[in-house]
Structure 1
Amino acid sequence: MSDGLDHPAPRERRTPRDWAWDAGVFAAAVFLGLVVLGFVQEQGGLPQWQQDLDPLLGLVACLLLWWRRDFPLAVGVLALPAVAMAGSALPAGAVLVSGLALRLPWRRALLMLGAYVAIVVPSSVLLSESENQQWFDAGFAVAYLLTAFAVGNALRSRRQLLERLRLDARRTRAEHERLLADARRAERQAIAREMHDVLAHRVSLLSVHAGALAYRTRQAEAGAGPALSGAEVAESAEVIRGNAHEAVNELQEVLYLLRAEDGADGPASLLPRIDDIAGLVEDATAAGQQAAWSSELDPVAVRDLRPQLHRTVYRVVQEGLTNARKHAPGAPVSVRLTGGRGGDLTVEVRNGVPTASAAEPIPGTGAGLAGLAERVRLDGGTLEATAADGAFTLRARLPWPAR
């Protein structure tokens, strides 16, 4: 984008809208030029050579309008004699002078304006019908040029303002997207670290069981211990197979999580469970928060939920309690879990308006909800954060399979 001060704006491809606008400007300039030409010829008093040359110069000025976008300086110079000598070129000249102020850098635009004043004003005086008309013609020429230049300058200022607003909007959107991307990336890295811990646990279990099986087999072959029965071998093999299967699944989750693109649905992580929410609420209460929770979930059905769902529900409650401590200190907080198989598991954290103000606000990055929304989306759910009726509600809906 040009700054409009030291260098011209880059040439842009003309759009169909631009062609239609230029056609309309050309037609209007030709029509108004004919009107002015008729008025001038009706008044009479001009030399015959000027009357014969006037239509030709007016047509040249109108034709030059088609190139005013791409070559404003060259067009302005070529149109200068026509605007100075032909009355029919006045409408086209107004458009050309406005284009000089609109498209040229300031210094060149002012130089061209000075050139027009230096040539058009003396020309209008010399071609005046009488000495009494000279001052009027000179004043009209100056007012004509300055008005056209002022219109172009106003259009230039408006265009630059719109460009600045668009640029600011693009920068704001880019910064917002960057912050959200950073929050998603940090959330995925945290999830991957937790998955690493679980995967290490699975691999260690495999190593222990496989090592014990190999040790018992070597001891039996050396006669230092009883041989393993078929049932013991089968049981150990089943344990190893089960842990290997879980390890592979969790490794696939890690790889998918690290390679997934923004907005993709995928697995979440493990560790906390829904049963741990009671302890989370107790910790919040011990810290002075007025927190209470209720659950309408079937305890037996909850045990069959995927560990990822357990962790997501836990994190939603944790983020809701944290937000309440930050933004509504002293306000009561309620945690409610509802849902059943074949539907949605709904987690709702609701806090009222603050009843007391903290001495200092709790610092934070402001990206907690963005990371939480990414976590919920990865688990196939939706997250809503609404403020209404003097309360803030954080609500997550997660799919609960029928089986």
Structure 2
Amino acid sequence: MTDSAVAPDGWAQRALLPGELLADGVRPHLRRTGRDWAMDGLFFVWSTGVFALLLIDLPSRDYLPGWMLAVDPWFGGAACLAIWWRRHHPLMLGLAAVPVTFLSSTAFGAMTVIVLNIGLRLPPRTALLVIGAHLAAVVPYLLEYSVPHEGGYVAVAFLVAYYLFFFAWGASVRLRRQLVIRLRADARRERAEHTRRLVDARRTEREAIAREMHDVLAHRISLLSVHAGALAYRTDASTGGTAKPLSDSEIGDSVRVIRDTAHQALEELREVLTVLRGRGPAEGDRQLGIADIGRLVAEAERAGQRVVFTRDLDAGAAAALRGPVQRTAYRVVQEGLTNARKHAAGTPVQVALGGAPGQGLTIAVRNALRARPVTEIPGAGAGLAGLEERAALDGGVLRHGPSATGDEFELVAELPWGPTPLGRDPKDQPQLPPH
């Protein structure tokens, strides 16, 4: 169903649809459309045509009382004119037409339109009461004049069936229009729900991008801080005479490392901003994965961090892992190295990868705990929470905290090697016992 079918706003729809279907669902549409004018004109022509034919035949009904023959045309003409008010006052018109049923035979054409309007525009219970009043009012005429003079009970049956047919026609049109209105309301609700889902999806995506920015930039900025801090320390020490001055080559190497790290941070920030602008990664861009962990460890070592990297998994099998799992593994190592630089600077870090098809993938980052951790590098504190959600979305679990012996801090992720179980909520992931 298109928007034009749900909420018509063009002149063609306003001209071809009945006014009831142009209502906003709160108040009725009181102005006639082009179709309404055409139908009212057609019904008026029909009613006046039947009125004229029966008026010509009226003198032949000499079995009717003279007073009835005198008032018949007046009631018939009034009924024809009243058709123009049938849309806005259906109940009043239906009740006013009850005596006309008995007093005027020339109103026969107008009465069929009025009966149709009763079925079309009145609630079912009210419509049945009004049509019952019409049938009750016509009974005396049928018994007194139709049975003896106008064809007997066949004429009576025809007249009753004729009235009921138009009443049923009007009721069926009413039901069809109500169905269309309900479908339009359902479509509006579905559009509103779709809009809400889009808003929620965009908000979720923004939250994911915020976590991504933390994971990416915290690592790079921590590297910059370490390099700059080491350079400042050596410079101060050489100035104070406690260490020999840095050579030009050492200064150049440090500056180049800082420059390269800053460039990489800007590139990764550019990728995140590209996603924020809604364009997504360019075609051919490769997402970071397990194959990039070695480079990540090498960068940390160049920054002066002592890292022991062990890898116990087949490279070919690891390359076939799902992209989200590989990306989560990379982020776990990245977050572990960043946290070690923040909270346990100078302590060695152990990074271990292991797993196989059917066994799952395990990523572990461990470092010695400092008695009094000093955090010189600020952070948002949301990295581990984001990693927990990443692991849960991939169908795995993440645990972090002091080890069983209490002398190490460990960050361990256990991820599935195969597909993620469908319908799994991150809140429902099993929790590992603390170490």
The TM tier, using the shorter chain, reads: 0.5 to 0.7
Distance apart, 1:73 and its partner CA: 0.9
- The aligned runs of 1:34-73 (5 Å cut-off) are 34-41=52-59, 45-73=63-91
Equivalent of 1:100 in 118, 134, 142: 118
1-structure distance, mates of 2:58, 2:231: 113
Q: Deviations over 1:75-131 (max 9, x none)?
A: 212233334322232222222222222222222112111221222332454565956
| Aligned counterpart, 1:364 | 422
- Matching residue's letter, 1:106: P
How big is the shift at 1:62?
Answer: 2.6
Asked if residue 272 in structure 1 is aligned to residue 288 in structure 2, the reply is yes
TM-score, normalisation: structure 2: 0.52
> Does the Cα contact within 8 Å between 2:119 and 2:167 map onto a contact in 1?
yes
Q: In the alignment, which residue of structure 2 is the partner of 1:11?
A: 28
User: Match of 2:29, as an amino acid?
Assistant: E
Gaps of 5+ in 1: 1-7, 289-321, 323-360, 367-403
Q: Which residue of 2 aligns with 1:240?
A: 258
Q: Is the 8 A contact 2:73 2:104 kept in 1?
A: yes
- Alignment partner of 1:86 is 2:144: no
The match for 1:208 is 226
With 48-57 and 104-113 compared, the bigger mean Cα shift is at: 48-57
**What is the RMSD computed on CA atoms of the aligned residues?**
4.3
How high is the sequence identity, in percent, across the aligned residues?
A: 45
Contact 1:9 1:103 in 2 (8 A): no
Q: Determine the C-alpha separation between the residues in 1 that align with 2:84 and 2:217.
A: 70
User: Would you say the 8 A contact 1:192–1:257 is kept in 2?
Assistant: no
CA contact (8 A) 1:98 1:152 kept: yes
Does the CA-based 8 Å contact 2:101-2:137 persist in structure 1? no
Contact 1:33 1:90 in 2 (8 A): yes
Q: Which shifted more, 233-242 or 212-221?
A: 233-242
Q: State the SS of the aligned residue for 2:107.
A: helix
**2: CA distance between counterparts of 1:135 and 1:16?**
42
The alignment partner of 2:226 has SS state of: helix
Equivalent AA in structure 1 for residue 265 of structure 2: A
Q: Secondary structure at the match of 1:70?
A: coil
Specify which structure has the bigger relative contact order, considering alpha-carbon pairs within 8 angstroms and separated by 6 or more residues: 1
Alignment partners' CA distance in 2, 1:362 and 1:206: 36
For the 8 Å contact 1:220–1:228, the answer to whether it is kept is: yes
Task: Compare CA radii of gyration and give the structure with the larger one.
Answer: 2
In the other structure, the counterpart of 2:212 is 194
Q: 1:201 & 1:15 partners in 2: Cα distance?
A: 67
For residues 362 and 247 of structure 1, what CA distance do their matches in structure 2 show? 31
Aligned residues: 284
The change in CA–CA distance for 1:235 and 1:9 in structure 2 (over 3 A counts) is closer
Counterparts of 2:79 and 2:253, CA distance in 1: 98
- TM-score (norm: length of structure 1): 0.55
